[in-house]
Each structure stands twice: as C-alpha cells, then as structure tokens.
Amino acid sequence: MMSYSRSEAVSRLRDVVETIETTPMPVPVREVWAFGDVVLGKDPIDRLCVYLTKDLLLRDAPDREADFEAELGVTGVGKTVSAAWADRFPEHVRANRNGHAAPEKCLAAHLFEDDEPVHLEVCNTGFENNVTQRLKGARAREDYTQLLDPRAACLWVDTDDGGRTSTEAFRKLEAGAFVFPTLPAAFETLGMDPDEAETAAETLRASRTEAGGVSVRGDVV
C-alpha cells in the first residue's frame, strides 16, 4: 500500500497550496486545512487528509453549458464549475452519477493523482463548523463513518489581497510539533461520552483503512 513519508506529505501539501494560488480552480477555494494523521507527527502517513473550503460558483458562463456537454459529455460546466478552468483543464472535468459536473471531484482530479493515498473533503463552510455539523448528522443516523477528525491545522486562507500561507502551521507540520489529544478524547471534547467516543473513533479508523487511492466527499451546509 502506498504511503507518504512525513517530508513527502508536507511537500504535497505545499504543492496543493501553490497550485491553488497559481492556477485556475474549478470553483473558488477559500481555505486549505490538513487533518488527521499528518498533523499528529506520524511517519509514515498512510492517508493524507485535506479539507478545502470553497465558494459556490455564481454567474460564470451558463450559455456555454451545451457546448461543454457536447464536447465532454458532462452537464453543468459553466454553472457549477468554471468554464475558463474547463477550457484549460478538460482532462480534469469530473461528473457525479447523474452526469453533472461535481466540484469536489474536479478539485480532486486537478490536485491529486488517482493512486495517491489521499482523502479530500470539500465544503462551502469552514472546517470547524463542518466538524460540528457532521457530528450532529453522524449521531442522528448512528453512522460514525460520516464524522470529521477534528484534529486539524489551517494552512492557507484566501484574502482580499491574495492568499496567505501559515508559515507557522507548515513549520509545525515539518517538525511534528502539533499537540493533539487521541481521537476518542477529541470526540469527548465535542460532547460524546467515553464509550460513544471510543466506538466513533474505531469506526472512523476502520473506514479510513478500507479506502484506496484518492477518495473525495463534497458537502453543502
């Protein structure tokens, strides 16, 4: 099974930030977070977990949707993903089961190779808010595979005058200097009792090990 050394994982995260800053994206990206094993000082890292906060695409080029559908066999280009991006990177256009352009899958294809051990989360709300939202949903459905590991570091944010990279976060990643609780303890801080927290942590760990290559999940909150 492919894995990253710590230095390789940090390098890939730097690549992700640089790509977002310097090339067109299928949708606007506002934040880049790393979470899970990479922020815990582990080496090697079996699965690199990345979270992107995105904006919804508005008023792009809906008049070009039919052209892209004829060319790529995908609807929604120019509405849900950028037409300018698709012009430049048609090989990265991806669709959901209904054949409609899927922003999260397009971002995954643009940023990572198919066989990389990466899990990508894409949502229109920030990481910390989505941790809370996913916790509520997972507990209501008793499906702990839907949880987000709350142990995370913000690496980059979009600002009015350009993107800002957290040099301190990258320094701590490289040094393995972040200090976080165990996963069950992290869930306890979110309101779970110890037994539920242990069950949730074991379920989430198992779901991670079953995945191979790039896995991606998109949320709208």
Residue position matching structure tokens 């940023």: 111
Continuous H helices in the chain: 6-22, 65-72, 83-88, 103-111, 127-141, 167-175, 183-189, 194-210
Would you state the pLDDT for residue 205?
Answer: 87
Question: Strand order of the sheet with strand 164-165?
Answer: 164-165, 152-157, 29-35, 48-54, 118-123, 215-219
- In this prediction the pTM is 0.95
Label residue 1 by pLDDT band (50, 70, 90): low
Q: What is the pLDDT of residues 97-119, one digit of tens each?
A: 999 999 999 999 999 999 999 99
Domain positions in the chain are 6-57+103-219
| Mean pLDDT of the residues in the chain | 94
Evaluate if residue 210 carries a pLDDT over 80: no
Q: Using CA atoms, how far apart are residues 89 and 106, in angstroms rounded to an integer?
A: 10
Evaluate if residue 148 carries a pLDDT over 70: yes
**Which has the closest alpha carbon to 198: 187, 190, 209?**
187
Q: Using CA atoms, how far apart are residues 149 and 131, in angstroms rounded to an integer?
A: 8
